A and B are shown apart, each in its own frame.
Chain A
Amino acid sequence: MQGLTGGDSDQTRRLVSLLEQAMAHADHAEGADCPVCGAQGRIDAAWRVATEEQLNRLRQAAEAADRAHAALRSARSAVQNVALPPPPALHQAPPPGVDAAQLQAIWSAWTAAVQADDPATAVAALRTDTVPLAELVSAASEAAGKELRRREDAWQPLAERLSAHLPRARAVVEQAQVHADVKAARDWLKGQADGLRDEGLRPIADHAAEVWRQLRQESNVDLGPVRLEGAKTRRRVALDVTVDGDAGAALGVMSQGELHALGFALFLPRAMLDQSPFCFVMIDDPVQAMDPSKVDGLARVLAGTAVTHQVVVFTHDDRLSDAVRRLQLPATIWEVVRRERSVVELRRSDHPVTRYPDDARAVARSQSLTDAAKSRVVAGFCRSALEAACHDVVRRRRIGRGDRHADVEAALNQPTTLTATTALALFDDPGRGDQVLPHYNKRLGRWAGDVHQACNKGVHGGAAFDAIDLVEKAQKVADFLRALGPAAAVP
Chain B
Amino acid sequence: MTESEELLAQADQLLRHGSSDAGGWWPRTAAFLIRAALELELRAFWDRAEPGTEGAPMRAQLLVLATRTPPGAGTARDVAAAWHALSRACHHHPYELAPTAAELRAWHADVAGLSSALRVRNTAEYVYGTAGS
User: Is the pairing of A and B real?
Assistant: yes
Taking beta carbons and an 8 Å cutoff, which residues of A are in contact with B? 316-319, 322, 335, 337-340, 343, 345, 347, 352, 356, 359, 362-363, 365-370, 372-373, 376-377, 380-381, 383-385, 387-388, 391, 395, 409, 412-413, 459-461
Q: Which residues of A contact B91 (CB under 8 A)?
A: 383-384, 387
Residues of A within 8 A of B120 (CB): none
Q: What are 30 A-B contacts with C-beta separation under 8 Å?
A: A317-B96, A322-B95, A335-B24, A339-B101, A340-B15, A340-B16, A340-B105, A347-B24, A356-B92, A359-B23, A359-B24, A359-B29, A362-B21, A366-B21, A367-B19, A368-B14, A370-B6, A372-B3, A372-B7, A373-B6, A376-B32, A380-B28, A383-B92, A384-B90, A384-B92, A388-B92, A395-B94, A409-B94, A461-B36, A461-B40
Tell me if B130 counts as interface (CB < 8 A to partner A): no
Nearest CB of chain A from residue B107's CB, rounded to whole Å: 13
Residue of A nearest to B27 (CB): A337
Whether B23 and A345, one on each chain, are in contact in the complex, defined by CB atoms closer than 8 angstroms, is yes
Nearest CB on B from A124, distance (A): 125
Q: Given contacts A337-B24, A345-B24, A373-B33, is CB(A319)–CB(B101) below 8 Å? A: no
State the CA gap A380–B98 with chains docked (Å). 13
Q: Is B49 an interface residue (CB 8 A)?
A: no
B13, CB-defined interface residue at 8 Å: yes
Chain B residues with CB below 8 A from A365, complex form: 21
Q: Is the CB of A347 within 8 A of B23?
A: yes
Chain B positions within 8 Å of A347 at CB level: 23-24
The answer to the question of B48 belonging to the interface, with a C-beta cut-off of 8 Å to chain A, is no
Determine the distance from Cα of A278 to Cα of B51 in the docked complex, in whole angstroms: 68
In the docked arrangement, what's the CA distance between A377 and B26, Å? 10
Chain B interface SS verdict (over half): helix
Contact B28 A368 (CB under 8 A): no
B22 within 8 A of A: yes
Given contacts A376-B33, A376-B36, A381-B28, contact A366 B92 (CB under 8 A): no
On chain B, the residues within 8 Å of A366 by CB distance are: 19, 21-22
Q: How far is the CA of A467 from the CA of B93 in the complex (A)?
A: 23
Contact of B28 among A343, A359, A395 (CB under 8 A): A359
- The 0/1 profile, CB within 8 Å of A marked 1, for residues 57-96 of chain B is 0000000000000000000000000000000001111111
Is B36 a contact of A460 with CB atoms below 8 Å?
Answer: yes
With A and B bound together, what is the CA distance between A385 and B92 in angstroms? Answer: 7
With contacts A337-B27, A347-B24 known, is A459 near B94, CB below 8 A? no
A460-B21 CB under 8 A given contacts A322-B95, A413-B94:
no
| Cα(A362)–Cα(B21), bound, Å | 8
In the complex formed, the residue of B with least CB distance to A287 is B95
CB closest residue in chain B, given A317? B95
Inter-subunit contact B28/A412 (CB<8 Å): no
Complex Cα distance, B39 from A383, in Å, reads 18
Asked if residues B101 and A461 are in contact (CB atoms below 8 Å), the reply is no
Point out the residues of chain B lying under 8 angstroms from A376, CB to CB.
7, 32-33, 36
Instruction: Pick the residue among B25, B27, B94, B98 that contacts A391 (CB under 8 A).
Output: B94
**B62 CB → nearest A CB, Å:** 13
| Among A316, A338, A340: residue with most chain B CB under 10 A | A340
Given contacts A367-B19, A373-B7, A377-B29, 12 further A-B contacts (CB under 8 A): A335-B24, A339-B101, A340-B105, A347-B24, A362-B21, A362-B25, A363-B29, A367-B21, A368-B18, A372-B7, A373-B36, A387-B91
Measured between beta carbons, the chain B residues less than 8 angstroms from A380 are 28, 32, 90
Closest Cβ–Cβ distance, residue B49 to chain A (whole Å): 19
Counting CB contacts under 8 A, is B97 at the interface? yes
Judged by a CB distance under 8 angstroms, whether B53 is at the interface is no
Residue of B nearest to A316 (CB): B97
CB-CB under 8 A from B35, the residues of chain A are 459
What chain B residues lie within 8 Å of A367 (beta carbons)? 19, 21
| B116 at the binding interface (Cβ < 8 Å) | no
A352 to B28, CA, bound (A): 13
- Per the bound structure, the CA–CA distance linking A367 and B15 in Å amounts to 16
Complex CA gap A198/B102 in Å reads 49
Flag if A459 contacts B22 (CB, 8 Å).
no
Q: Which residues of B contact A373 (CB under 8 A)?
A: 6-7, 10, 33, 36
Contacts of B21 in A (CB 8 A): 362, 365-368
Q: Does B133 make an interface contact (CB < 8 A)?
A: no
Instruction: List chain A residues, Cβ under 8 A from B95.
Output: 317-319, 322
Bound CA–CA A319/B95 (angstroms): 5
Residue from A317, A380, A381, A388 whose CB has the most chain B CB atoms within 10 Å: A380
The answer on a CB contact under 8 Å between A460 and B39 is: yes
Complex CA gap A362/B6 in Å reads 20
- B105, closest chain A residue (CB): A340
Please state if A391 and B29 are interface contacts (CB–CB under 8 Å).
no
Question: A412 touching B94 by the CB < 8 A rule?
Answer: yes
Closest to B35 in A: A459
- A330 CA / B53 CA spacing, docked (Å): 52
CA distance in complex: A480, B33 (Å): 29
Pair A370/B40 contact, Cβ less than 8 Å: no
A322 touches B23 (CB 8 A): no
> How far, in angstroms, from A380 to B32 measured CA to CA in the complex?
7
Please, which residues of chain A bring their CB within 8 A of the CB of B3? 372
Find out whether the CB atom of A337 lies under 8 angstroms from the CB atom of B33.
no
Do A391 and B92 contact each other (CB < 8 Å), given the known contacts A316-B97, A339-B18, A461-B36?
yes
Residues of chain A within 8 A (CB-CB) of B105 are 340
- What B residues does A343 contact at CB under 8 A? 18
Q: Which residues of B lie under 8 Å from residue A370 when comparing CB positions?
A: 6, 10
